[in-house]
Amino acid sequence: MTLFNKIKEITEIQATSGYEAPMRDYLRARMMELGYTPETDGLGGIFVTKESKTENAPRVMVAAHMDEVGFMVSSIKADGTLRVVTLGGWNPLVVSAQRFTLFTREGKKIPVVTGGLPPHLLRGAAGAPAMPQVEDIIFDGGFMSKEEVLEFGIRQGDVIVPESEAILTANGKNVISKAWDNRYGCLMVLELLDYLKDKELPVTLIIGANVQEEVGLRGAHVSTTQFKPEVFFAVDCSPATDTFGNDNGRLGEGSLLRYYDPGHIMLPGMKDFLLNTAEVNGIKTQAYISKGGTDAGAAHLQNEGVPSTTIGVCARYIHSHQTIFNMDDFTEAQNFIRAIVTTLNQEKIAAIKNY
């Protein structure tokens, strides 16, 4: 299967925060095909432990998150339309006039669109239209009444997930899809497990994906407590800003070295290790300063402190139906995580910790 076909398959799966089962089922099936025995934590994160034969081998965790941003039905109106609360961060300006799938408790899939006012209805309005609030945006499944909505099994608490097809850009270098944040990470861990299946290493690896990252890094608190790694590597996607006149995250410039975000500062020992590993292995990287966080921000505060970082890529217009990202960046990040986990040993982990 080509890289694009793998990306298409994994990004078109619909799984939002608190409704990760479709993505978890996919990961479990792929992990088992590769010969691993996955296990889940109490919230539903899924991980494989690849034990080292080295005595007292240090434990290293590599974790994606499997949830994408979505919505939850908060109310059903008399006219048959729905209102929602967000699952993850949404810019209200990208929500309207889009297609979604609503999942009922019974697993029924209901097509839904978000309503946007046509310009005809804005004529004569005093002043410019106000910025919409997500809670006021109409989610419409074409139902005629609240009673009809209920007849189809729709209830408050049902989740609504973006629907979008992955396609290649005209130059063949980039992909347009939903959910690269963080199906990037999910594909990263699957490709890493495939690469490592016949390799013996001086570290024990815990590789998999957390739940509920988009709603507060929740799954990482649980998994790091359960699996007790000495170091932690999140694999996650961050917003590119190259189309906004900023050089902080550019497509095609390689894997990100995420030095800072509001919940995490990379330790000097980790920075030295990453820079040296990238240089020795010819990995293309770019510095990145973030305004948002990843699971590294939760993991590094667990178990008396776990040195952590993020091995990431950037993508344009994340948390929307149409994200643009570069396939060569994925390859650079994949080469980077391979070099990291096959280079780590007790001595290098001690150096990361003792800066």
**Is 200 annotated as catalytic?**
no
List own/partner pairs for 97-102 with CB under 8 A and 24 or more apart. 98/162, 98/321, 99/162, 99/163, 99/164, 99/321, 100/71, 100/139, 100/160, 100/161, 100/162, 100/163, 101/14, 101/160, 101/161, 101/163, 102/73, 102/139, 102/141, 102/154, 102/158, 102/159, 102/160
CA pair distance 10, 114, nearest whole angstrom? 24
Count H helices and E strands in the chain, helices first: 9, 18
**Residue 72 is encoded by which pair of tokens?**
């939850």
pLDDT (tens, 9 = 90+) of the chain, 355 residues, equals 999 999 999 999 999 999 999 999 999 999 999 999 999 999 999 999 999 999 999 999 999 999 999 999 999 999 999 999 999 999 999 999 999 999 999 999 999 999 866 665 555 556 666 778 898 999 999 999 999 999 999 999 999 999 999 999 999 999 999 999 999 999 999 999 999 999 999 999 999 999 999 999 999 999 999 999 999 999 999 999 999 887 789 999 999 999 999 999 999 999 999 999 999 999 999 999 999 999 999 999 999 999 999 999 999 999 999 999 999 999 999 999 999 999 999 999 999 998 6
Residue 245: predicted pLDDT: 80
List, in sequence order, every residue forming a beta bridge with 16; answer none if it has no partner. Answer: 19, 68
- 65 annotated binding-site participant: yes
Question: Is the CB of residue 7 less than 8 Å from the CB of residue 177?
Answer: yes
Q: Taking the mean position of all CA atoms in its chain, how far away is CA 254?
A: 18
**Residue 22 is encoded by which pair of tokens?**
């479709």
Q: Which pTM was predicted?
A: 0.95
Task: Kindly report the backbone phi and psi dihedral angles of residue 7, in degrees, each rounded to the nearest multiple of 5, phi listed first.
Answer: -60, -45
Q: Taking the mean position of all CA atoms in its chain, how far away is CA 178?
A: 11
Q: Please, which residues have CB within 8 angstroms of residue 97's CB and are 6 or more apart in sequence?
A: 113, 114, 115, 116
Question: Is the CB of residue 232 less than 8 Å from the CB of residue 308?
Answer: yes
List, in sequence order, every residue forming a beta bridge with 171; answer none if it has no partner. Answer: none
CA pair distance 288, 268, nearest whole angstrom? 15
β pairing state of 308-315 and 231-239: parallel
CA pair distance 134, 198, nearest whole angstrom? 48
CA pair distance 192, 208, nearest whole angstrom? 10
- 214 annotated binding-site participant: yes
For residues 63, 66, 71 and 74, what is the CA-based torsion angle, rounded to 10 degrees? -80
Measured from the Cβ of residue 129, the count of other Cβ atoms closer than 10 Å reads: 8
- 181 annotated binding-site participant: yes
Concatenating the DSSP letter of every residue in 250-297 gives -TTS-EEEEEEETTEE--HHHHHHHHHHHHHHT--EEEEE-SS--HHH
> Active site residue: 20, 191, 213, 230, which one?
213
Residue 131: predicted pLDDT: 76
Q: Please, which residues have CB within 8 angstroms of residue 249's CB and are 6 or more apart in sequence?
A: 238, 239, 240, 241, 242, 256, 286, 288, 314
- 236 annotated binding-site participant: yes
Q: Find the largest Cα–Cα distance for the chain.
A: 76
